[in-house]
Amino acid sequence: MSNRGYQFLLGSGIFFGLFFWTDVYALKSKNFYAAKKKQLQKKIVHIQKIINHNYREKKASIAYAHTLHVQIQMLHTLLQMMAMENQKMEKKIKDKKKMIQKLTLKEKKIAQEYAHMLNISVKKIQPLHQIFFVLSAQSFYQMAQRVQCLKQYARMRSVQMQHLQQIHKNLIVEKKQLFQKYQQKSQLIAQKATEQSKMQQRKQEQQVLLKRLQQQEKKLKKELKKNQQDIQKLDRIIKKIIAQAIEKKKTHTQAIQLTPAGKIISENFEKNKGKLPWPVKQGFIVGKFGRNQHPVLKNITTENLGIDIETTKNAKVYAVFQGIVKTVAFVPGMQKIIIIQHGNFHSVYARLQNTLVSSGATVDEKTVLGIVGTHEAGTSILHFQLWKNVQKFNPSLWLAR
């Protein structure tokens, strides 16, 4: 009995230790997942606020089509996360049921063993029997051993009773947690139904909008052509500024020759990839970098040299890093633009209605550069580009996520 009892207690300790560390890991994973989900939900609410602010009349426009598309994508991602969360919840409920079953069996087994010990105690180890057991020893040494044995037996009974009580407490906790999991699952099902309803509404709205826009194909093609021409004008200005910087140092390479201070700025800029602050406080990307399928016109792709960030009306535009303002200019179709040099990097801010810095000025990270312009459709969209020497980079990979 004693060897088996101690082995059982040791095994139970390992079992509960592993269970504890599994719970700690699960808690960390759960917290990370919950933070991601909360962040996505905040973005969806933020987009809806911008929609309510910028598209009160909900006119048929490409900008609104882009915004709806982004919101639908985010809702789709949120629903996927909820589906995964539901699967995890199902597994947790299943695991909890298994745990309760194991603990119930352990409780029953230990209770039987404890009852058996009590039965032996009642029948064979009564106080009078204990006295006879001790006094019948053939030597003083044997008598001391028998006293010690009786004490050890009493301790084992006490330990096993405590262990039985602990398992019973754990069983109560597990049952309570199982009930909470069922409640959480019910809440998740309700949330998922709400978000599915929202997405269905947005999809219906998107279909109506696309039909209206498709009826304006000639107008859209004309606007697209003009927009591409405006982007090309901006591209030529940027290339000219970079070419001048290269020529100024009389280098035959396609890289800007930097001063020691410029090298430090450039190196620090590169170290901050994925950590740069956004050029607006609130906003979301409606135009991705590179080649993209037109949201309305079939078999037509567009080339975006940067990203387009939709924000609120009269939003402030901020420098993403310290640097020197190289150009402040007006470009037809792109409104006012600002180009800032950060060593051998350049950041470009276009579609501003006001500028608050001038050429040659030194700026720090988050210096206010100007105010984003508002399009005739009611949208406020900042065009943002990032260059290293003569190479264009995807800005979304450099901004903080």
The answer on 353 and 240 residing in a single domain is: yes
- Domain ends where: 154, 179, 214? 214
Give the tokens for residue 325.
């303002």
Confidence category of residue 355, pLDDT binned at 50, 70, 90: very high
User: Would you list the DSSP string of 133-195?
Assistant: HHHT-SSHHHHHHHHHHHHHHHHHHHHHHHHHHHHHHHHHHHHHHHHHHHHHHHHHHHHHHHH
Using an 8 Å Cβ cutoff, are 53 and 312 in contact? yes
Using an 8 Å Cβ cutoff, are 234 and 331 in contact? yes
The answer on 304 and 338 residing in a single domain is: yes
The answer on 258 and 146 residing in a single domain is: no
The answer on 247 and 206 residing in a single domain is: no
- Domain ends where: 182, 214, 246? 214
Using an 8 Å Cβ cutoff, are 75 and 199 in contact? yes
CA distances in angstroms from 108 to 6, 97, 136, 167, listed in the order given? 17, 16, 37, 10
CA distances in angstroms from 240 to 143, 213, 243, 386, listed in the order given? 104, 37, 5, 15
The b/e string for 39-67 (b: 16+ C-beta within 10 A; e otherwise) is eeeebbeebeebbeebbeeeebbbbbbbb
Q: Which domain holds residue 86?
A: 2-214
300 or 231, which is more confident?
A: 231
DSSP H or E run through 393: strand 391-393
The answer on 179 and 62 residing in a single domain is: yes
Q: What CATH number does the domain containing 281 carry?
A: 2.70.70.10
Dihedral sign of CA atoms 75, 81, 83, 89 in order: negative
247 or 360, which is more confident?
A: 360
On the question of pLDDT at 371 being above 90, the answer is: yes
Give the model confidence (pLDDT) of 193-207 as tens digits: 888 888 888 888 888
Give the model confidence (pLDDT) of 89-107 as tens digits: 788 888 878 877 887 777 7
The answer on 367 and 263 residing in a single domain is: yes
Count of domains for the chain: 2
Tell me the C-alpha distance between 103 and 177, whole Å: 14
The answer on 200 and 77 residing in a single domain is: yes
Confidence category of residue 340, pLDDT binned at 50, 70, 90: very high
35 or 386, which is more confident?
A: 386
DSSP β-bridge partners for residue 292: 302
The answer on 46 and 175 residing in a single domain is: yes
Confidence category of residue 385, pLDDT binned at 50, 70, 90: very high
- Domain ends where: 188, 214, 240? 214
**Residue 222: inside a domain:** no
Could you tell me what percent of the chain has a pLDDT over 70? 77
Confidence category of residue 7, pLDDT binned at 50, 70, 90: very low
Tell me the C-alpha distance between 390 and 246, whole Å: 10
